Amino acid sequence: MKNLLQREPLLALMVVALVLAVGAKAPVFLSGASLANLVTDSTLLLMLALAQMLVIVTRGVDLSVASNLALSGMVAAMLASHSPEAPLLAVVLMAAVTGLALGLVNGWLIGYLGLPPIVITLGTMSVYRGLVFVLSGGTWVSAHQMPPAFIAFPLTRFLGLPHLVWIAAAAFGAFLFIARFTRFGRDLFAIGNAPQCAGYIGIPAARRLLWVYGLSGLVAGLCGYLWVARYAVAYTEVAYGFEFTVIAACVIGGVSIAGGVGSVTGALLGALFLTVIGNALPVLQVSPFWQSALTGLVILAAVLVNARGGMKRSRQILPLNKRQLEQAAH
């Protein structure tokens, strides 16, 4: 527990230190507009990282979020372009429901059939990505085909902040509540910590896993609409490779891949950290090709740091030789 309490303040400090360090080299980074841009950029990664955090906590992983996002976004974009008079809420709901359905497929295979999450989500990742092509026929949905209300929604300001930031804040609050105060959330931690014991005390693991992957899909669906609307384009390779960035944000935020350990604030800080790095590179005039390598280095560093206080894989319970026997006898 003490370890956990020390991790988040340290990560928050690192994020602030990084921002200040970049600001020292390039003061324009610390301007209000730049920081507001930073927060807006981090919203999609944050929402996906929150949902992924719950999945990783159950000892699983959802590699299909990016493809889910792409498919739901394409569904929303095609719906909006074919029937521009449809209300925005209907379009967003359609994207969210598509994402939920795709996530529930994952959840059923993993929860009720008990199949390994990494293999299942690896498979659904490629199936969903292919379905984007099948649905769109390989064509793009570009900005002029989308109704103006569709594109304008994410960045329209409400009380000074873009809708994206409000939605992300609401998602953060909701996930904080789910993870700490609902039976669903607490059961997820129990399933990840000790699955057999969770089964013994009557936690419906299959149902919980079904709905955690469903939730991850739902968030991916919503983010699908937000992504497609924000960047005003929908095509097959939307968010290609983004799932690894999401997992990186979770790992940096202290979520243990072995399950049972993780916090919502950690996911938030991890997402912020990665966004700061991503936004700092052009400001520092570092080639954008370095982003991928830096992300990889940061993941490795984060896992190394987090593993320091981790559990050993096997415990020695019997003395190995005579010397240890004598030492134990004293």
Contacts with other proteins, residue ranges (CB under 8 A): 61, 109, 113-116, 118-120, 122-127, 129-131, 133-134, 138, 195-196, 236, 244, 247-248, 251, 257-258, 287, 289-297, 299-300, 303-304, 307, 310, 312-314
3-state secondary structure of 157: strand
In the complex with other proteins, which residue's Cβ is closer, 89 or 314? 314
In the complex with other proteins, which residue's Cβ is closer, 24 or 284? 284
3-state secondary structure of 158: strand
3-state secondary structure of 193: helix
In the complex with other proteins, which residue's Cβ is closer, 232 or 305? 305
Which two tokens mark 138?
């390989």
Burial 131-155 (b: 16+ CB within 10 A, else e): bbbeebeeeebeeebbeeebbebbe
In the complex with other proteins, which residue's Cβ is closer, 10 or 307? 307
Residue 270 CB, nearest approach to other proteins (Å): 13
Whether 238 contacts 244, CB under 8 Å: no
Residue 172 CB, nearest approach to other proteins (Å): 24
Whether 208 contacts 189, CB under 8 Å: no
Residue 204 CB, nearest approach to other proteins (Å): 14
Whether 250 contacts 52, CB under 8 Å: yes
Residue 116 CB, nearest approach to other proteins (Å): 5
Residue 68 CB, nearest approach to other proteins (Å): 13
Which residues, 6 or more positions from 89, have their beta carbon under 8 angstroms from its beta carbon?
A: none
In the complex with other proteins, which residue's Cβ is closer, 92 or 131? 131
Residue 149 CB, nearest approach to other proteins (Å): 31
Whether 249 contacts 273, CB under 8 Å: yes
In the complex with other proteins, which residue's Cβ is closer, 146 or 188? 188
In the complex with other proteins, which residue's Cβ is closer, 28 or 307? 307
Residue 330 CB, nearest approach to other proteins (Å): 25
Please name the amino acid found at residue 58. T
In the complex with other proteins, which residue's Cβ is closer, 97 or 115? 115
d(CA 39, CA 36): 5
Which among 109, 15, 56, 73 has a CA at the least distance from the CA of 262?
Answer: 56
In the complex with other proteins, which residue's Cβ is closer, 70 or 146? 70
Residue 257 CB, nearest approach to other proteins (Å): 5
Whether 221 contacts 97, CB under 8 Å: yes
Name the residue with tokens 């969903």. 128
d(CA 202, CA 204): 6
Residue 263 CB, nearest approach to other proteins (Å): 17
Which among 171, 161, 141, 2 has a CA at the least distance from the CA of 73?
Answer: 141
d(CA 236, CA 136): 8
Torsion angle, CA of 135/139/144/145, rounded to 10 degrees? -30
